[in-house]
Structure 1
């Protein structure tokens, strides 16, 4: 990926360069349509944060609370008053650059039953897992049903996304900066190239598809974003100008072929 393309990707991921503002405060916030008359009863809050550690690893922390606007009796805690969390649970995943979980810390500070916190040691089964496709399935294999806590397992979903959003943009940004430095340092050095093909042309090195390719609607291989960021992986229809240029090239090739025959 070129430096310009990586800069565009960083911006798309919400990770602009050092000189840019992380967001535009003048933008209007999108809101839902006006609701019907109603009464607020419950709020679930999920907060996820990502941190880079000095030892080179990353901490991803998630906290989930359930709060009701009314009080009710509970056999374990007595009366749970309005605003007092029914659930208050926190997870920390320590991961490396490859998103492999190296350490886990799980706590249940508030729950409706005394037995709830007893399951948190089971979350050590996450150590060694890699956050990638199939992560949810692997988590449920280890912590599903009676082997885990429903709410802590649910929290792992947004935490996995937070891990990707925390780590990937930084690594892309640093790779782009490293590539720019290397190009500047090697500008005066003799150019090296791939071995020539049989017809005498140079063979460019093969590239792996970007991690985000086809990961969601925005990054569909036939969409405008992929066409802009990774044109070599674009599978959509060419625009009119490209189609015209391609047709012109084919006509020229046919003319040359006819002239030589």
Structure 2
């Protein structure tokens, strides 16, 4: 069952703000992967200073920024670059280099808490730090074929051992819960009664 946009809100409405996030994963010729994210905020109305002067005209970028993480096949970050093209404050332009501190972290369990430790509060940019969540998901989706190829190779070389290995996606979301239909169909040995 899906919910259409029209059914979310029936009263008349007017657009005030648009945030766009685009994440893309690239395979590089050197055996690494680039995971790139870009984010922008645009308001349909002007923003004003306290004295009434227009600070930002309607339709202009309030935020436009991004980051690129280079990862290896184990999802370890080997390079990180962040940039800000548009922001409401000049100081916002200075935080990008701080995100080089991501180098050496691995995307996986505990990644979000390590990111918050390094970039929480005044140590980071709220918007760049928020982008790291979708970047992590994009990294996993980009490298999933690599993980699947490894899993198939293990299955061929050691069918019994591979059959005893709990699928990593099991219980990772509602649809893939051990008590669900998908688990019963894909991983019957690991499925649980509903």
Corresponding residue to 1:42 among 17, 39, 43: 17
Q: Structure 1, unaligned stretches of length 5 or more? A: 1-28, 184-192, 195-203, 238-261
Paired position in structure 2 for 1:141: 117
Paired position in structure 2 for 1:215: 172
Give secondary structure in 1 for the equivalent of 2:182: helix
Larger-gyration structure (1/2)? 1
Paired position in structure 2 for 1:246: none
Q: Tell me if 1:96 matches 2:69.
A: no
Q: TM-score, normalised by structure 2?
A: 0.87
Query: Aligned pair count?
Result: 188
Q: TM-score, normalised by structure 1?
A: 0.65
Corresponding residue to 1:166 among 136, 139, 142: 142
Name segments (4+ residues, structure 1) moved above 3 Å: 172-180
Q: Structure 1: how far apart are the matches of 2:62 and 2:187? A: 47
Give secondary structure in 2 for the equivalent of 1:83: coil
Paired position in structure 1 for 2:193: 236
Q: Structure 1: how far apart are the matches of 2:154 and 2:169? A: 20
Corresponding residue to 1:205 among 139, 161, 167: 161
Paired position in structure 1 for 2:32: 57
Deviations along 1:215-241, whole A, 9 cap, x unmatched?
A: 11111111111111111111125xxxx
| Conserved? CA contact 1:50–1:59, under 8 Å | yes
Q: Which has the higher strand share?
A: 2
RMSD: 2.6
Q: 5 Å matches for 1:71-110?
A: 71-73=46-48, 79-110=55-86
Give secondary structure in 2 for the equivalent of 1:124: helix
